[in-house]
Structure 1
Amino acid sequence: MPSKQSQTVKELYRGWTRAMIESREPDIDGWGDLTAEPRGVDYLETDAGGVPAMWAVPKGCAEDRVLLCLHGGGFMSGSMYTHRKLYAHLAKAAGVRALILEYRLAPGHLHPAQVDDATDAYAWLLGQGVGARHIAFAGDSAGGGLAITTMLRARERGLPLPAASMPLSPWVDMEVLGGSYESNRDKDAFFYREVVQALADLFLGTDGDPRDPLANPLHADLTGLPPVYIQAGGDETLVDDAHLLEEHARKAGMEVRLDVFPGQQHSFQMTAGRAPEADEAIRSLAAWVRPRLGL
């Protein structure tokens, strides 16, 4: 059974839906309140190669291992502030530092601004002396897609690839074709097909291509990318994005794991510290990534 905290996610997303229908920018001030404050973590804002970012540094962590974290929000909202606690929970569980990025947002900055910002920050991190095999990507929703496309952009630039990637409820299908938009329509609190299509249009712009591999990795060559661990909620309309990404990765010969959590909403990990399902998901991510970072 879903926890009471899962209802909190539904209430937030219903408010977002109303704002979208009324053509107003969603109010995200309380988004980070979904997540409990993890104890024993210090925060420090920085400039990551021209990209605003925030370090989350758990007490006693391995400082030469880093999670590069990419927030969700449909590419038009969210920030390092709304997501700092989520990724601090993950960093603390894994025993490493997290670098949480604040990439440029649509509609003021269209694709590929977001993947370029994430890749610039990754290149900066490598320049700080952190080895690629000691870095893992993590991202939720739109950031989950970026956790894949940033590796593709890094490969284009000749950068070494990270050790692993962890997309949470990834949004990857810019064509908005998944059957779960219909099968989960009455279960998902926010992500109706029409909403996701509107977000895709804002992200890509009038001349954008929804099949561009750097926007939609389902059309990319994933051969040679590092291991990926995907998580998704069983009640979200985007769950087919997770299944399609897993299938595409397997066909490319990647090591891939997908866990779908029954009864859970999109990006349910945001309730870390308040909901047992989110805490279980965080523990699973940490246990999976630690050996891939050499811990």
Structure 2
Amino acid sequence: MRSPLTYLPAPVRGGIAIVALAVNTVLCSLPLFAFALLKLLFPFAWMRRRVDPVLNAIARTWVAGNSLWMRLLHPTRWDVQGLPAPRRGWFLVNCNHQSWADIFVLQHLLHGRLPMLKFFLKQELIYVPVIGLAWWALDFPFMKRHGKEALRRDPAKRADDHEATLRACRKFALVPTSVMNFAEGTRFTAEKHAQTASPYRHLLKPKAGALALTLGAMGGKFDAFVDVTIAYQPGIPGFWDFLCGRVKQVAVHIDQLPVPPEFIGLDYAGDSQGRKRFGRWLNALWEKKDARMDVLLGTAPVETGPQEFAAEPAEV
């Protein structure tokens, strides 16, 4: 049964969503920062093992609060295939990237089913008011992502993201975590698609670095590789459109795959042959994902019927 709030005009829904998101963020950030201070004052593994579960619980409360206003305000139809049963452990999650809405979609769907999602973020996002500090407190890894020109001037900068990934993986290994990676490295736009001469219809070229380094550093720890594909109708939403509930349909396909054993412990920087094998594997995955986008967007025959999203997932 739809909430009566979904019948409000879209700009009104958007305004309510902004207020709800802001209040939820502030209320959850206050206790989050208090416990993060303990971790900062006592930077030891034993303290991290005790504090990180509390921080993750607070973050899950934030996700649940966002899911609540999404259900109340958005008339969006959810078609989801392959929604995982609740599981504990460590997971490597990969997804195509089109909009800021992707983060809310992933959290909404996987909340209570997989451990807390930890994203690789651009370094600039640490300066986002309140939420940037929250990401830092939750050990989200911040990547500098130097441009080609900067790397040409100073090749040593290539090691920055390598070291950031390895530091993050050492922290992730202490507490069950879902390590989330957008392999495209940036949001899809038609302009970026043309500039990069992407061979895929709906996707940008994937960047192997963070994914390969994570598998190399802690691949043996992961219980599964979770590949997610998201498609929006009638088109990719801006964040304001998403807040207003102007997304008619979100179609999602989730594959739970075994972690490729040949890439566990891979020395991505030093093993040129392993790097090539990983590139071929990732490109093959992207070809399947591109074809899956055709199915989700309704431009190809649907192979299996969609599974309706369960509004109240069980807690992990």
So what's the TM-score if we normalise by structure 2?
0.30
Greater C-alpha Rg: 2
Report 1 or 2 for greater relative contact order, CA contacts < 8 Å, sequence distance ≥ 6. 2
Structure number having the greater helix percentage: 2
So what's the TM-score if we normalise by structure 1?
0.32
